[in-house]
Amino acid sequence: MSRFRRKSFSALLTVAAAAGLVAGGVSAPAATAATAATDASVGKVVGYFTEWGVYDRNYHVKNIETSGSASKLTHINYAFGNVTNGGCAIGDAYADYQKTYDAASSVDGVADTWDQPLAGSFNQLKKLKAKHPGLKVIWSFGGWTWSGGFGQAAKNASAFANSCYNLVNDPRWAGVFDGIDIDWEYPNACGLSCDTSGAAAFKNLLQALRAKFGSKLVTAAITADGTSGGKIDAADYGGAAQYVNWYNVMTYDYFGAWAAQGPTAPHSPLTSYAGIPTAGFYSDAAIQKLKSKGVPASKLLLGIGFYGRGWTGVTQSAPGGTATGPAPGKYEQGIEDYKILKNSCPATGTIAGTAYAKCGSNWWSYDTPSTIAGKVSYAKTQGLGGAMFWELSGDTTNGELITAVAK
């Protein structure tokens, strides 16, 4: 969790209710068939890859391949590009297109040379797509940290769309990206900062992007606040739906240790339950609310977190207990990757379609292969377009969670 992470814990302290708040040598034909089969069976499987993951997390594009995830994904969202000065901008030039890879760390086993025109994760993604021709890559802009720029962008949506189109389709990385994802947290509502651009701004922005990007993919990550008068009601998500291929509904981060004293609660409940701290802060509430706004079910992807949120100073095993603050985490307090939690604090119970565990005085909630299977079943029953997850590096080295998503 760096400052770029979708939900910075320190930032969330300021908005307690900010809900809504992915084996080498596969032949091209086999990979194409695998991707097509995944799409047909569960719809889209969209996973976020974070540009900062190549640093402390030591998670690179090659890991998508070696974990077996590449053949299970239909789309990768590359997070994040910046939104500044009314346009789209590079997030981290070094990680994106400058960092060189040796043969051992390169997707295709071929080392970068000092004078090649494109390096970094962009070049590695290009190599990954060559192995998996059915795989699409989408560049995501904004996120928790950089959403403050969308207000200015909305003042001239056409100029913003032109800027983004030119960056996504820059000749230096031609062939890498198949479209754009907008992660505005949140239009006409508060995230890290508060936006006052009006209820129509989001629709206008997406309309301009669709006009510029034409048949290329245009998607958006959106709030999952199912409360009455909440974030879904603050902007015209129904009207904007006609311009997107789909919405990535961020059905996680409903509860967490930004409420330092608790009560402990699962951060990604699928359904409501007795004692839920905030009515409407659960996945099904968001999905039904978006449907009621006229968003087609097929354009909704259910969000799944590949991480847990936790408290410390907890004495009660069941949800609803008091706490003294955030549980320790490897990169940031109050949050931990699934790949760590599955061993450090194995799930002992489930509530509202997700799992939880108390280990010592720490209490964690997170999704497991079993609870993900339940969420995927829900998505199918609801006729949703598939599932999205945040983010790839939280999974095990053999891709336990993505296997459950794509099964």
CB 183, CB 142: distance < 8 Å: yes
Residue 309 and residue 256 in contact, taking contact as beta carbons nearer than 8 Å: yes
Q: Decide: helix, strand or coil at residue 389.
A: strand
Decide: 217 and 385 in contact? Cβ < 8 Å. no
**97: which 2 tokens?**
């297109």
User: DSSP assignment, residue 143?
Assistant: H
- Strands 354-359 and 362-366, by their bridges, are antiparallel
CA dist., res. 227 & res. 344, Å (int): 34
Cα angle at 200 between 194 and 203, to 5 degrees?
105
Residue 189 exposure: Cα atoms within 13 Å on the Cβ side:
27
Q: Which of 347, 254, 240, 361 is nearest to 303 (CA)?
A: 254
Taking the C-alpha atoms of residue 241 and residue 245, their distance in angstroms, rounded to an integer, is 8
Name which of 91, 156, 160 is nearest 122 in CA terms. 91
How many angstroms separate the CA atoms of 108 and 330, rounded? 31
Q: Work out the burial of residue 397: count CB atoms within 10 Å of its CB; fewer than 13 is exposed, 13-18 middle, 19 or more buried.
A: exposed
**Options 185, 332, 391, 400, the catalytic residue:** 185
Helix, strand, or coil (residue 18): coil
Element (H, E) at 123: helix 120-131
Question: Cα–Cα distance between 264 and 319 in angstroms, integer?
Answer: 5
Q: How do beta strands 217-222 and 179-183 pair?
A: parallel
Among this protein's residues, is 185 annotated catalytic?
yes
CA 213, distance to chain mean position in Å, is 22
Burial of 175 per CB tally in 10 Å (0-12, 13-18, 19+): middle
What are the catalytic residues?
185
